[in-house]
Structure 1
Amino acid sequence: MIRESDLTPEPQPSQWLRVEIVHELSALARMRSEWDALMDASDAGPFNAWEWIYPWCRRIAPDRRPLVLTARDRTGTLVGLMPLGFELCHVLGRQVGRLSFLGETYVGSDYLDVVAKRGMEEPVTRAFAHGLREMHGGWDVLDLVDLHEDSLTVKVLREAFPDLEVRVTDRYVCPYETFRPGEAFDLFLKRTGRRDNYLRRRKWLEKQEGYRIERTEAPGELAAPMADFFRLHSARWAADGGSQGIQSHEVESFHRDATQFLAERGLLRLYTMKVGGQAVASVYGLIYRDTFIYYQSGYDPEWRNRSVGLVLVGETFKDAIEGGLRHYDFLRGTETYKSDWTSKERRTVAVRIHAFQGAGHWFTRQEELARGARDVVKRLLPEATVERIRRLRRSRSAG
């Protein structure tokens, strides 16, 4: 005999996952071990890691209220999280409640997204989308930036909010390269646009007294190479009004914390080129699974004509290949030197959700008007004047 209970469909995983919200930074601090375990069991990008998100909350946005969605299975194991934060934006005398990714600003966090255990991406993301829908009265605009263009989250959110305005816009191009199986560095060089210059410049540098490249990964050895990195990064951008990547003392403090945490997890790799005992170029990178991630760099402008930056980047490719890594990711940016080393691109996107009327719609409209006004000014002013204004803004931010 078939019982009625036998005909009842098994609940979908997204229905039995327990979704909760972490509001306190102190609670976030205590999540490191299980957050790390979830990252290891997921395909999420490195900038979703606790080692990146937690110091960002402390140093960059201490006033932003964490609102981290967590999903646990029937055993209480963490199988998903969505690191969000809530802020009240004051625009023209009006308050707008904005919900966004933690880590979104000032530090160039690409590939932000839901973190889910492999195989559970869809049920976890749908459970979070359901939770966000239930919370809609508490936020005016859901503003998620720098997701991978193929993110499942984009698809699920479109489906979860059919009655709201869902905007998906392009953000950045991220050049990257995939190494061929068994490919030696010399063979890789032949398919790049920098081979001859790199080899010539490296040969000259290798003849200089005290030339060497130091690689630093250990947590207790970061002080000197990080000091060299900050000095060289600042020097490289000084003539342009300052760096857009490291704009303030708060951002520098963030990186000091983050690099320590990343090194403790074996995810950090710093390269420093020295000539005659003096650091002349630096690369700040991450090792994440089978990928070298080029995050930032710097060099001494007095050594620009010797292409020390070019040579050090080439050495990071050489080290990645010889270390058995499969990919090299330059992250956001379409600078010529990146395309000379790589042949592939991926993109990031932003998702914004709000009602068709109300505070969220008004917030978006004000941004569009401000952007339009800036575009008009750029068209009217000479390019040299626009560039001077940019440099002035960067120098003020750095101050």
Structure 2
Amino acid sequence: MIREEELTAGPQVAPRLDVAAVGSASQLSGMRAEWNALLDASTAGPFNAWEWLYPWCRRISPDVRPLVLTARDRLGTLVGLLPLGLEHRWVNGVRVRRLGFLGETHVGSDYLDVVARKGREAEVARAFFQVLQGLRDEWDVLDLTDLREGSLTLDVAREVFGDANVRKTDRYVCPYETLVPGEPFDAFLKRTGRRDNYLRRRKWLEKQDGYHIERTEAPGNLAGPMTDFFRLHALRWSSDGGSQGIKGAGVEAFHRDATQLLAERGRLRMYTMKVGGQAVASVYGILHGQSFIYFQSGYDPAWRNRSVGLVLVGETFKDAIDLGLTEYDFLRGTESYKADWVTKQRQTVSLRVHGAGIGGAWFTQSEALGRKARNAVKSVLSDELVEKVRRLRRRKAAVH
């Protein structure tokens, strides 16, 4: 078992940094202010926030033991974090000790990474990886998933562990757009090619009784908008066997916690479109630095032909421009509606390193055999039938 005292790095690792570990959720709970100060001084992405990862530990994976590496300078100031969790998996009778990011599953956390003060990313990552390198007999697999492409973390991992020992895998495509400060919203609309349809649909909706859009950001006002969001999100995916993005009571509880905490930091935007007193569309957005993060959405399929989703997304772009933000990020997924609004894409990647024993190699080999079996089944099924099988599995899972 990895012990916290083993993770204290001496001068041989990084003379200017002291590396230690936080090994319990109770310790993690007291780090909010210090964590936030570091995140605000970094270039790390939105899902590295304490407000996201702490409720993930409580609601999503309580069996994963937090193992958050911290790096402090000579004055004791926190200059880096590596938010890891340790779990044990049994693969064909073999126990595998796996280190991975907190927040990596169930909630769609893109751009996970080392959190470091701006300009010290490589130094901090190097200190963390040198400690983990010295403890390779204490873990079998190090999985760092959904790093943003171009992250220095990948280069430093190759430097410390050896290029041949680091496996890189492409993960998700994330569409986004750069916003021009001060640009009129109509000029932005012309660049998207959605101007006429958006304006026509909005004009029709504005004539309907009780049409309005509510923007909720105060932590004390979230109960109603979150209830509307969960209902509309479930309706949106009901014909496809249920949502894979927000699935189960535990995930809903996580989002109620996370949105409350994000709102306390002024980082949340919930948008609800109402017509005649009834919520018909919803967008769950996050503010991070100069970026608007489109996290999830939902709408009533009965209003699909009125393009309520299109209009509400357009209003979030307008709001982002009015706020002076410089980027709008749709996160993972290349759904066609995203291409209507944005022109750029970035990739997320994952890295894997095996520990000193055989467990890591065994784990990777078992995964590869599982993928090979699944791909063999897919190869004899039509794409349409594969999708029907997926939907059937989702419906069965929803029932149980």
TM-score by length of 1: 0.95
Q: Deviations over 1:80-102 (max 9, x none)?
A: 10000011111111111110000
Give runs of aligned pairs for residues 135-284 of structure 1, distance below 5 A: 135-162=135-162, 165-284=165-284
Residue 191 of structure 1 aligns to a residue in which SS?
helix
Q: Which amino acid aligns with 1:128?
A: F
Which residue pairs with 1:390 in the alignment? 390
Q: Deviations over 1:141-173 (max 9, x none)?
A: 101100011111100000101286210010011
Which residue pairs with 2:76 in the alignment? 76
Distance in 1, Cα, partners of 2:113 & 2:14: 18
Residue 176 of structure 1 aligns to a residue in which SS?
strand
Change (3 A) 1:163 1:322: closer
**CA shift for structure 1 position 179:** 1.4
Q: Which moved more, 1:159-168 or 1:94-103?
A: 159-168
Residue 256 of structure 2 aligns to a residue in which SS?
helix
Say how many residue pairs are matched. 389
Residue 14 of structure 2 aligns to a residue in which SS?
helix
Which residue pairs with 2:367 in the alignment? 367
Q: Which amino acid aligns with 2:217?
A: E
For the Cα contact (< 8 Å) 2:140–2:357, is it kept in 1? no
Residue 100 of structure 1 aligns to a residue in which SS?
strand
Residue 177 of structure 1 aligns to a residue in which SS?
strand
For the Cα contact (< 8 Å) 1:57–1:64, is it kept in 2? yes
Which residue pairs with 2:117 in the alignment? 117
Distance in 2, Cα, partners of 1:273 & 1:366: 47
For the Cα contact (< 8 Å) 1:164–1:356, is it kept in 2? no
Residue 183 of structure 1 aligns to a residue in which SS?
coil
Which residue pairs with 1:91 in the alignment? 91
Residue 112 of structure 1 aligns to a residue in which SS?
coil
Distance in 1, Cα, partners of 2:181 & 2:222: 33
Q: Which amino acid aligns with 1:73?
A: D
**CA shift for structure 1 position 373:** 1.0
Q: Deviations over 1:239-283 (max 9, x none)?
A: 000001011111000000000000000000000000000000000
Distance in 1, Cα, partners of 2:354 & 2:20: 23
Which residue pairs with 2:104 in the alignment? 104
TM-score by length of 2: 0.95
Distance in 2, Cα, partners of 1:165 & 1:117: 27
Which residue pairs with 1:4 in the alignment? none
Distance in 1, Cα, partners of 2:327 & 2:121: 23
Residue 243 of structure 1 aligns to a residue in which SS?
coil
Distance in 1, Cα, partners of 2:320 & 2:190: 16
Uncovered stretches (5+) of structure 2, i.e. residues with no partner: 1-10
Uncovered stretches (5+) of structure 1, i.e. residues with no partner: 1-10
Change (3 A) 1:56 1:110: same
For the Cα contact (< 8 Å) 1:165–1:355, is it kept in 2? no
Q: Which moved more, 1:159-168 or 1:328-337?
A: 159-168
Q: Which amino acid aligns with 1:360?
A: G
Which residue pairs with 1:334 in the alignment? 334
Residue 89 of structure 1 aligns to a residue in which SS?
strand
Distance in 2, Cα, partners of 1:188 & 1:260: 32
**CA shift for structure 1 position 355:** 5.2
Distance in 2, Cα, partners of 1:46 & 1:125: 19
Distance in 2, Cα, partners of 1:162 & 1:28: 31
After superposition, the CA RMSD in angstroms is 1.5
Distance in 1, Cα, partners of 2:14 & 2:310: 49
Q: Which moved more, 1:175-184 or 1:78-87?
A: 175-184
For the Cα contact (< 8 Å) 1:13–1:123, is it kept in 2? no
**CA shift for structure 1 position 220:** 0.1
Change (3 A) 1:131 1:298: same
Distance in 1, Cα, partners of 2:251 & 2:31: 23
Q: Which amino acid aligns with 2:374?
A: R
**Aligned residues with identical type, % of pairs:** 68
Q: Deviations over 1:205-239 (max 9, x none)?
A: 00000000000000000000000000000000000
Distance in 2, Cα, partners of 1:302 & 1:211: 16
**CA shift for structure 1 position 370:** 0.7
Which residue pairs with 2:131 in the alignment? 131
For the Cα contact (< 8 Å) 1:272–1:281, is it kept in 2? yes
Q: Which amino acid aligns with 2:342?
A: T
Distance in 2, Cα, partners of 1:100 & 1:393: 27
**CA shift for structure 1 position 356:** 8.7
Which residue pairs with 2:289 in the alignment? 289
Distance in 2, Cα, partners of 1:387 & 1:115: 38
Distance in 2, Cα, partners of 1:163 & 1:200: 54
**CA shift for structure 1 position 395:** 2.8
